[in-house]
Chains A and B, each alone.
Chain A
Amino acid sequence: MPARGGGALGKGLLGIYLTALVLLPIAALLTKASSGGTSAFWREITSPEALAAIKLTLAASAIVVVLNAIFGTIIAWVLVRDEFPGKRIVNSLIDLPFALPTIVAGLVLLSLYGKGSPVGINVAFTRAAVGLALLFVTLPFVVRSVQPVLLELDQSMEEAAASLGARPATVLRRIVLPSLVPAIVSGVALSFARALGEFGSLVLITGNLPFKTEVGSVYIFGQIQNDSLPTAAAVSVALLFVALVVLGLLSFISQRQSRHVL
């Protein structure tokens, strides 16, 4: 049957595509990282500077995704449920961080919130700058995953809860938020993955000070510049591993929550 033939062709294409673009590069990375043996690998990722960079990356990403979960949901809510002049323009602004080359984003942030800031805020070369840049580039993820779900959400559920005596805050907590959790979680997962690997927007505004503002990706870049590829690969693998664990965990949470909803 044609449908079945198409299916097999599709699966084949998917396999080749994924192998060429994802699996082979990761395999090469793993080979490079393990070229010096396990103890060398361990030494590379536990060197004080590498460890500081990894910790900063994880902590900053964690804080950023929590803020994204909160503000992204609020922004999505306002964009879906409220009417105000210029709503369409605001809506398209949300995607701007996607469209802007991240190095340009970094430059813009530096001139706005750096030395001689026109708004009087100077966070250049501080950890706050790491958070700021990451917030900027990950803004769209939660907004864009929550928005369609909120649009589809059956408002009569909220009306039913209200007519059963629930206050607006209770309706939000017990009816709306549980329905949004899978979407929020998937937005968080995307934000987190993006934050772990973010480079362009950080490299200018953070100043890349070791032990202070140097994140994983910038550390890796530095190691490549210094020709220590195994170190770069080892730290990459460590970040990759964390990303895999976190994404797995988030997808588990999301599935648990959406089990009865879909």
Chain B
Amino acid sequence: MAIEVRNVDKRFGDFVALDDVTMTVGDGALTALLGPSGSGKSTLLRIIAGLETPDSGQVVIGGEDVTSSAARTRGVGFVFQHYAPFKHMSVHDNVAFGLSVRKRPKDEIAERVKELLGLVRLDGLAERYPSQLSGGQLQRMALARALAVQPQVLLLDEPFGALDAQVRAELREWLRRLHEEIHVTTVFVTHDQEEAMEVAEQIVVMNKGRIEQAGSPRHLYESPTNEFVMSFIGPVNRIGDAFLRPHDIQILPESDGTGTEALIERVVHLGFEVRVELKLHDGRDVWAQVTREEARQLELTEGQILSVRLPAPRVFSS
């Protein structure tokens, strides 16, 4: 089901959480709401779910205006940032909750729960309690619980925020595959641009309660329409009002007179990628991103003076 948000405003006291937000999420799409904390992304997600009421504007799910419907009637699966497990219930009962409030027959529930626990790879843990699960397992249980009622829309609030790096990477990959399998319209909130780019098909960048830009990860990276998106998505060098990407700075093998002179202040090896911190002849600091191989061939060392070619910088009118 497609989701449409039209001209939504939301204030909490004096704080403007959402300011005239309009966005569309296509049927079956996997979308990230990306922004720094306080940008309104979680509030927008909660408004779509019906956990928060907008001050004005509309929420339309699958062509139906649900702005004034209660959360329980929206057919939305919601995965909370800290998973919100029902602590007094077993994993089985957690996942079965949505079905049991719908008064489905016992054996149908049992079968569906078994199937879902298989899908989220928690088979054999049905009788455990939330306090006996790890963060990653709780996350998957919360997902199974949300999916049990076959929601039209799946919403996830900072789904990987509270997990350690390795589990995080695994779950990202897994969420992506899951989405390919079940194709439910999915929106997740994140403040991590790498996570958004890796998982989502579409990214909506938010800042201070407004949508800055929406589009595919590649589109946002290559054609940011403003300063905020340029500096939020991907690494960036800022020179006055101009922006340039570190990997667009070319380090030349020899001074041929066409480049700009620069002093290498520091070379940081980050595995495949090498970060070269440079001071340009006019005193400005920039950094360039090169591969390990390039760094080796150019024999980059700290204190060396060489010449670099700067790309045409981007300037945004504000």
Indicate whether A157 reaches chain B with its CB closer than 8 angstroms. yes
- Cβ of A159: which chain B residues have Cβ within 8 Å of it? 51, 71, 78, 80, 84
Q: Is there contact, CB below 8 Å, between B80 and A260?
A: no
Segment at the interface with A among B97-105, B246-254, B309-317:
B97-105
Bound form: Cα–Cα A161–B80 in Å: 11
Q: Which residues of chain A have a CB within 8 Å of any CB of chain B?
A: 154, 156-157, 159-167, 170, 174-175, 178-179, 257, 260-262
Q: Which 6 residue pairs of A and B lie closest in terms of their CB atoms, listed nearest first?
A: A164-B98, A260-B129, A156-B84, A160-B84, A163-B78, A156-B80
The residue on B at minimum CB distance from A155 is B84
- Cβ of B296: which chain A residues have Cβ within 8 Å of it? none
Q: Is there contact, CB below 8 Å, between B87 and A261?
A: yes
Interface residue range, chain B:
20 to 34
**With A159-B51, A164-B145 as given contacts, are A260 and B84 in contact (CB-CB < 8 Å)?**
no
Q: Is there contact, CB below 8 Å, between A165 and B149?
A: yes
A163, A165, A262: the one within 8 Å of B49 (CB) = A163
Given contacts A160-B80, A260-B131, 5 further A-B contacts (CB under 8 A): A156-B84, A160-B86, A163-B72, A164-B98, A164-B146
The residue on A at minimum CB distance from B93 is A174
- Cβ of B131: which chain A residues have Cβ within 8 Å of it? 260-262
Q: How far, in Å, is B48 (CB) from chain A's closest CB?
A: 11
- Cβ of A179: which chain B residues have Cβ within 8 Å of it? 87-88
Instruction: Give the most central of B51, B78, B82, B86: most A CB within 10 Å.
Output: B86
Bound form: Cα–Cα A154–B138 in Å: 15
**With A154-B84, A156-B84, A178-B88 as given contacts, are A161 and B97 in contact (CB-CB < 8 Å)?**
yes
**With A165-B98, A167-B72 as given contacts, are A257 and B88 in contact (CB-CB < 8 Å)?**
yes
- Cβ of B74: which chain A residues have Cβ within 8 Å of it? 163
- Cβ of B130: which chain A residues have Cβ within 8 Å of it? 260
Indicate whether B76 reaches chain A with its CB closer than 8 angstroms. yes
Q: Is there contact, CB below 8 Å, between A157 and B72?
A: no
A-B pair count, CB < 8 Å, reads 75
Main secondary structure of the interface of A (DSSP, over half): helix
Q: How far, in Å, is B39 (CB) from chain A's closest CB?
A: 20
Q: Is there contact, CB below 8 Å, between A163 and B86?
A: no
- Cβ of B81: which chain A residues have Cβ within 8 Å of it? 156
25 example contacts (A-B, Cβ-Cβ < 8 A) are as follows A156-B80, A159-B71, A159-B78, A159-B80, A160-B86, A161-B97, A162-B51, A163-B51, A163-B71, A163-B72, A163-B78, A164-B72, A164-B101, A164-B146, A165-B72, A165-B101, A166-B72, A166-B101, A167-B72, A167-B101, A260-B87, A260-B88, A260-B130, A261-B87, A262-B131
Bound form: Cα–Cα A178–B97 in Å: 14
| B63-85 interface code vs A (CB 8 A; 1 in, 0 out) | 00000001111101110111011
Q: Which residues of chain B have a CB within 8 Å of any CB of chain A?
A: 49-51, 70-74, 76-78, 80-82, 84-88, 97-98, 101-102, 129-132, 142, 145-146, 148-149
Bound form: Cα–Cα A254–B73 in Å: 35
Q: How far, in Å, is B143 (CB) from chain A's closest CB?
A: 12
- Cβ of A164: which chain B residues have Cβ within 8 Å of it? 72, 97-98, 101, 145-146, 148-149
Q: Is there contact, CB below 8 Å, between A163 and B82?
A: no
- Cβ of B102: which chain A residues have Cβ within 8 Å of it? 165
Q: How far, in Å, is B10 (CB) from chain A's closest CB?
A: 16
Q: How far, in Å, is A170 (CB) from chain B's closest CB?
A: 6
Q: How far, in Å, is A167 (CB) from chain B's closest CB?
A: 7
- Cβ of B70: which chain A residues have Cβ within 8 Å of it? 162
Q: Is there contact, CB below 8 Å, between B76 and A163?
A: yes
Q: Is there contact, CB below 8 Å, between A163 and B101?
A: no
The residue on A at minimum CB distance from B130 is A260
The residue on A at minimum CB distance from B98 is A164
Bound form: Cα–Cα A260–B133 in Å: 11
The residue on A at minimum CB distance from B52 is A159
Bound form: Cα–Cα A185–B315 in Å: 66
Bound form: Cα–Cα A162–B52 in Å: 12
Bound form: Cα–Cα A162–B84 in Å: 12
Q: How far, in Å, is A247 (CB) from chain B's closest CB?
A: 23
Q: Is there contact, CB below 8 Å, between A163 and B129?
A: no
The residue on A at minimum CB distance from B51 is A159
Q: How far, in Å, is B17 (CB) from chain A's closest CB?
A: 17
Q: Is there contact, CB below 8 Å, between A261 and B88?
A: yes
Q: How far, in Å, is A178 (CB) from chain B's closest CB?
A: 5
**With A163-B50, A164-B101, A165-B149 as given contacts, are A154 and B88 in contact (CB-CB < 8 Å)?**
no
Instruction: Give the most central of A163, A170, A175: most B CB within 10 Å.
Output: A163
